Chains A and B, each alone.
Chain A
Amino acid sequence: GQNIDQPTEMTATEGAIVQINCTYQTSGFNGLFWYQQHAGEAPTFLSYNVLDGLEEKGRFSSFLSRSKGYSYLLLKELQMKDSASYLCAVKDSNYQLIWGAGTKLIIKP
C-alpha cells in the first residue's frame, strides 16, 4: 500500500528553527509537495521537490532524498502566524496525490 508518515504534532518557539519530517512509500514518484493549512482554512501550496536536494524559498526550505523516501520542511525565524498544519503529499506513478495526515505546528512566544 501507499503510505505517507509525518509527526502528528510539534512545538517550537518564536524566532527558532523547526524541521518537519516526512517519509513516504508510494507506487512510483512524480514529485513531493508541502502545503500549509491554517485552522479552518484551505491548504495552500508551499513547495515542490522532484529532484534530490534543497529548495529554498524565503524562510521556508524543503529537502528531498528519493533514495531514502524522505523529505523535510525547514522553517526558519518562526513567527506566530506559522502556527498551522503542514501537509506532505506525493504524486504516485498515476500522478495521483497521496496525502499525509499533516503535522500540527504550535508556536510558543
Chain B
Amino acid sequence: DTAVSQTPKYLVTQMGNDKSIKCEQNLGHDTMYWYKQDSKKFLKIMFSYNNKELIINETVPNRFSPKSPDKAHLNLHINSLELGDSAVYFCASSQGVGGAEEQFFGPGTRLTVL
C-alpha cells in the first residue's frame, strides 16, 4: 500500500505550458505539504495545508496554485511554466504540525521545462 503517492513521476513540457501534479495520501493525516528540491538538493517548502486550509504559503510565484479538494489530496497546478521551474517536487503529509510529527514523502515528480 502506497502511503503518499504522486502522479506523474516524470513530466517534460515546454515553456509557457500549464501543468498539474496530483498527490494523495492514505495515512489519514491532517496536514499535507508541497516541497521543491532543486539541483543543489535543497528542500524548500512551498505550501502546507491542514484539514484543507492553507497554513503555509511561502514566497512562491502566483503561477503556482495548490488545491485541496479533501484532506487526503493536495494538487499543485503550475501556469506559464518557466525554465527555472525545473526541479523535483515532493508532496508530503503528517498527522499534524506538532513537534514530533514526522513527515512522510511521496516519490517525487521530476519536472523538466524545455
Partner-contacting stretch, out of B13-21, B67-75, B77-85, B101-109: B101-109
Report, as a range, how many residues of chain A touch the other chain. 20 to 34
B107 near A41 with CB under 8 A, answer yes
A96 at the interface (CB under 8 A from B): yes
One digit per residue, 1 when the CB lies within 8 angstroms of any chain A CB and 0 when it does not, for chain B 78-94 equals: 00000000000010000
A87 at the interface (CB under 8 A from B): yes
CA distance A42 to B40 in the complex (A): 15
B102 near A45 with CB under 8 A, answer yes
What is the CB-to-nearest-CB distance from B55 to chain A, in angstroms, rounded to a whole number? 9
Question: Residues of A with Cβ closer than 8 Å to B?
Answer: 30-31, 33, 37, 41-45, 48, 50, 85, 87, 89, 91, 95-97, 99, 101-102, 104
CA distance A19 to B98 in the complex (A): 28
Question: Residues of B with Cβ closer than 8 Å to A?
Answer: 40-45, 48, 56, 90, 97-100, 102-108
B103 near A45 with CB under 8 A, answer yes
Contacts of A48 in B (CB 8 A): 100, 102
- Residue from B40, B45, B105 with most neighbouring chain A CB atoms (10 Å): B105
Contact status of A95 and B102, CB under 8 A, knowing A42-B90, A87-B43, A101-B40: no
CA distance A47 to B43 in the complex (A): 18
CA distance A43 to B45 in the complex (A): 14
A43 near B100 with CB under 8 A, answer no
B100 near A42 with CB under 8 A, answer no
A42 near B108 with CB under 8 A, answer yes
B41 near A42 with CB under 8 A, answer no
Contacts of A30 in B (CB 8 A): 98-99
Contacts of A33 in B (CB 8 A): 102
A97 near B99 with CB under 8 A, answer no
